[in-house]
């Protein structure tokens, strides 16, 4: 199983001291967080993509390319790449290039984006959100698998004899996840292609996540990619930990109460009960995360949101130490013991990554 | 000889009341409308089960849902009951020339197409009958937007309606309630529920 972190890249005022980091500080902090993720033994770093303040990550492959140069093992991913408003041709080129630089340590997650004005800013119509996601991905899928592409669709200028360069590393395209919270169409799309399905469950009750994953698994089998249990599933998570759980609650509460996404609504306690948010001891995080498996079955990737709502860099790095040292090693062992034979351990790795790891292990 | 059918069907109605006082006149009106539907259908071997959703009890969960985007378990259950109901009776007090904010907030949280084709009986309460057209200029368009089927008679109960002079010509509330109940009962009989599609139909280029 793969464990990692995903970042929204928000620039948020720290509610405990009123300090707001500059965009420059936030970007540099993101790099430090990714490097820390590798240092503490996490598998994946994923960045969101946003095109409006207070978010900085408008240029994911620039960030990921930089992190690729500063890490050895970390898989670089997105959460999500906007398949609706980006040109699929540019996604094909950018991520294939990144794949070469990172020696295959790249996968990505498609998403539609949740900010209405981004569509018109990029010349698209939000009412076409699902059709854009379906058509653009069909083109991207083709560009990575077919050297010379002729294409005509509804949303993009046609292509005649187009070759996307560079070709994917060793001819193997990056693995793709499709992220969706509410749209069954996207679960269906992931199932159709035999791609991964990521449910970012952090703001939703587990009962909803369970339904969406069950639909994806059923349809994955329907399209003949394997059994429902073999479908590739990823989940989000959101944690804040201290040795003593009351200390974790006291320290995190002001960040929770003022968080841009859910602040000024339910209490920390209510939200923790109703969503996967876990604020407490590392042991509580272990138990809660294991309970996700009860809802969705054996799954392949767990990403945690660690660096939002104005938490200072120092705190985030401490949290990553706890996650990497006390939580993930236990979860790795527990999930591995529970997973039946025949169920994939992780999302497919690029052959170049597998080869490098085998070589490393032999040394 | 009777020709009463031997099987009884049960219609599940949900009455949504946005009254704020306990007891409230909105709840009182909702109960009376429910009784009127029940007595109309009783003669036709149809049981009517009315579940009342008091929005006052859900005020904080409703506000939280607006902020977080998902319902607490109790609110989620109420929304599900509304969506699954065979018909709805909805009653709001009149606030500032319209339905109350709480009433609107609750219906803001229901998926836009979830009430398509659903029979709805609308009612409102207020201090004076001068507000009665709120039913026509606020409630009816709201449920038309939601593609629900609204019963022709809507019932407004002003404070004065709860008393009376004993003269049937001027004490019209009971007549209006039973007329609305009868119309709504007919609407329930002619409306078919459609099952939702689980798997989306898509074609991949």
Question: Is residue A199 predicted with pLDDT exceeding 80?
Answer: yes
The whole-chain average pLDDT of chain A stands at: 96
Contact yes or no for B205 and A138 at CB 8 A = yes
C-beta of residue A237 within 8 angstroms of C-beta of residue A276: yes
Q: For residue A357, what are its two tokens?
A: 């790891």
Shortest distance between the Cα of B201 and any Cα of chain A, in A, equals 8
Contact yes or no for B199 and A134 at CB 8 A = no
Of A155, A81, A270, A345, the C-alpha closest to B67 is A270
Give the least confident one: A22-31, A281-290, B4-13, B24-33: B4-13
Task: Suggest the residue from B64, B76, B201 to mutate for an interface test with chain A (most A CBs closer than 10 A).
Answer: B64
**A&B contacts, CB < 8 Å:** 53
Contacts of A149 in chain B (CB under 8 A): none
Q: Please write the tens of the pLDDT for every residue from A28-80.
A: 999 999 999 999 999 999 999 999 999 999 999 999 999 999 999 999 999 99
Q: How far apart are CA B125 and CA A260, in angstroms?
A: 38
Tell which A residues from 109 to 148 touch B, by Cβ distance under 8 Å: 134-135, 138-139
Q: How far apart are CA A111 and CA A108, in angstroms?
A: 10
User: Mean pLDDT, to the nearest integer, of A216-237?
Assistant: 98
What kind and span of H or E run contains B124? strand B119-126
pLDDT at position B2: 46
pLDDT at position B9: 81
Q: Please write the tens of the pLDDT for every residue from A250-295.
A: 999 999 999 988 889 999 999 999 999 999 999 999 999 999 999 9
Contacts of A135 in chain B (CB under 8 A): 205
Contacts of B73 in chain A (CB under 8 A): 205, 274
Q: How far apart are CA A89 and CA A156, in angstroms?
A: 10
Q: How far apart are CA B96 and CA B140, in angstroms?
A: 17
Contact yes or no for B202 and A134 at CB 8 A = yes
Q: Please write the tens of the pLDDT for every residue from A240-251.
A: 999 999 999 999
Cβ density class A206-229: b for 16+ within 10 Å, e for less:
bebbbbbbebbbebbbeeebbebb
Question: Is residue B45 predicted with pLDDT exceeding 50?
Answer: yes
The 3 state secondary structure assigned to B139-168 is HHHHHHHCCCEECCCCEEEEHHHHCCCCCC
DSSP assignment of A24-78, as one string?
Answer: HHHHHHHHHHHHHHHHTT--EEEE----STTB--S-HHHHHHHHHHH-SSPEEEE
Q: For residue A223, what are its two tokens?
A: 């399209």
Q: How confident is the model at residue B1 (pLDDT cuts 50, 70, 90)?
A: very low
* Residue with token string 């709502």: A309
Q: How far apart are CA B189 and CA B192, in angstroms?
A: 8
Contacts of A193 in chain B (CB under 8 A): 204
User: Mean pLDDT, to the nearest integer, of A181-188?
Assistant: 94
Residue B42, sorted as left (phi over 0), alpha (psi -120 to 50) or beta, turns out to be alpha
First CA to last CA across chain A, in angstroms?
Answer: 23
Q: For residue A227, what are its two tokens?
A: 């059994």
* Residue with token string 């029940």: B38
Q: How far apart are CA B108 and CA B105, in angstroms?
A: 5
User: Mean pLDDT, to the nearest integer, of B36-61?
Assistant: 94
User: Mean pLDDT, to the nearest integer, of A219-233?
Assistant: 98
Contacts of B76 in chain A (CB under 8 A): 205
DSSP E strand stretches across B42-86: 46-54
pLDDT at position B27: 97
Provide the CATH number for the domain formed by B9-190 in this structure. 3.40.50.360
* Residue with token string 């459609």: B194
Q: What share of chain A is helix, strand, coil (3-state, %, to 5)?
A: 50, 15, 35
Of A195, A179, A213, A217, the C-alpha closest to A49 is A179
Contact yes or no for B76 and A135 at CB 8 A = no
Contact yes or no for A188 and B202 at CB 8 A = yes
Shortest distance between the Cα of A24 and any Cα of chain B, in A, equals 30
Going from N- to C-terminal start, the domains of chain A cover 2-362
CATH of A2-362, one of 3.40.50.300, 3.20.20.30, 2.10.70.10, 3.40.50.11540: 3.20.20.30
Q: How far apart are CA A166 and CA B70, in angstroms?
A: 43
pLDDT at position B193: 64
DSSP code for A158: -
**Cα distances (Å, whole numbers) of residue B154 to A109, A188, B61, B157:** 51, 43, 29, 10
Tell which A residues from 334 to 353 touch B, by Cβ distance under 8 Å: none
Q: How confident is the model at residue B190 (pLDDT cuts 50, 70, 90)?
A: confident
Look at B169 and B114; give whichever has higher pLDDT: B114
Residue of B69, B199, B204 lying closest to A203 (CB–CB): B69
First CA to last CA across chain B, in angstroms?
Answer: 65
Is this complex's ipTM strictly greater than 0.90? no
Q: Please write the tens of the pLDDT for every residue from B73-84.
A: 999 999 999 999
Which residues does B contribute to its contact with A (CB < 8 Å)? 63-64, 66-70, 72-73, 76, 198-200, 202, 204-205
Q: Please write the tens of the pLDDT for every residue from B126-185.
A: 999 999 999 999 999 999 999 999 999 999 999 999 988 778 777 899 999 999 999 999
Tell which A residues from 185 to 244 touch B, by Cβ distance under 8 Å: 185, 188-189, 192-193, 203-205, 208, 215, 219
What is the crossing angle of helices A282-296 and A206-222, to 10°? 40
């Amino acid at each position: 199983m793969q464990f990692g972190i995903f970042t929204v890249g928000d620039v948020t005022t720290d509610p405990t001291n009123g300090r707001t980091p500059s965009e420059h500080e936030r970007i540099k902090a993101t790099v430090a967080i990714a490097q820390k993720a590798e240092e503490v033994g996490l598998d994946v770093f994923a960045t969101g993509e946003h095109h409006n303040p207070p978010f900085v990550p408008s240029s994911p492959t620039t960030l990921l390319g930089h992190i690729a140069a500063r890490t050895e093992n970390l898989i670089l991913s997105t959460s999500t790449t906007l398949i609706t408003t980006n040109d699929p041709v540019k996604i094909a080129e950018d991520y294939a290039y990144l794949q070469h630089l990172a020696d295959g340590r790249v996968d990505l997650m498609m998403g539609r984006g949740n900010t209405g004005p981004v569509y018109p800013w990029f010349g698209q119509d939000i009412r076409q959100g699902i059709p854009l996601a379906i058509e653009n991905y069909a083109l991207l899928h083709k560009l990575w698998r077919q050297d010379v592409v002729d294409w005509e669709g509804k949303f993009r200028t046609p292509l005649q004899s187009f070759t996307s360069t560079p070709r994917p590393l060793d001819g193997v395209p990056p693995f793709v996840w499709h992220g969706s919270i509410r749209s069954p169409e996207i679960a269906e799309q992931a199932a159709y292609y035999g791609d991964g399905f990521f449910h970012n469950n952090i703001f939703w009750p587990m009962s909803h996540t369970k339904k969406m994953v069950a639909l994806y698994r059923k349809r994955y089998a329907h399209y003949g990619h394997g059994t429902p249990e073999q479908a590739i599933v990823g989940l989000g998570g959101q944690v804040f930990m201290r040795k003593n759980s009351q200390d974790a609650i006291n320290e995190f509460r002001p960040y929770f109460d003022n968080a841009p996404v859910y602040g000024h609504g339910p209490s920390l306690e209510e939200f923790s009960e109703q969503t996967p948010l876990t604020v407490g001891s590392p042991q509580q995080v272990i138990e809660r995360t294991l309970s996700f498996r009860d809802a969705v079955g054996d799954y392949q990737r767990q990403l945690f949101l660690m660096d939002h709502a104005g938490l200072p860099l120092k705190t985030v790095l401490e949290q990553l130490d706890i996650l990497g040292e006390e939580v993930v090693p236990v979860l790795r062992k527990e999930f591995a013991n529970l997973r039946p034979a025949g169920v994939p351990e992780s999302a497919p790795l690029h052959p170049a990554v597998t080869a490098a790891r085998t070589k490393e292990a032999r040394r | 000889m009777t020709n009463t059918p031997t099987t009884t069907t049960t219609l599940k109605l949900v009455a949504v009341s946005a009254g704020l006082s306990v007891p409230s006149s909105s709840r009182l009106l909702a109960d009376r409308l429910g009784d009127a539907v029940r007595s109309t259908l009783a003669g036709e071997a149809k049981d009517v089960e009315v579940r009342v959703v008091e929005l006052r009890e859900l005020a904080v969960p409703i506000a939280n849902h607006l902020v977080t985007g998902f319902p607490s378990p109790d609110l989620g259950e109420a929304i599900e009951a509304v969506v699954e109901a065979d018909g709805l009776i909805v009653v709001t007090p009149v606030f500032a020339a319209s339905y109350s904010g709480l009433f609107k907030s609750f219906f803001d949280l229901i998926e836009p197409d979830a009430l398509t084709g659903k029979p709805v009986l609308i009612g409102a309460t207020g201090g004076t009958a001068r507000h009665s057209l709120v039913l026509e200029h606020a409630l009816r368009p709201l449920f038309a937007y939601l593609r629900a089927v609204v019963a022709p008679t809507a019932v407004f109960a002003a404070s004065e309606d709860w008393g009376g002079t004993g003269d049937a010509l001027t004490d019209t509330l009971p007549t209006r309630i039973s007329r609305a109940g009868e119309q709504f009962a007919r609407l329930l009989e002619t409306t078919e529920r459609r099952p939702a599609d689980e798997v989306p139909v898509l074609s991949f280029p």
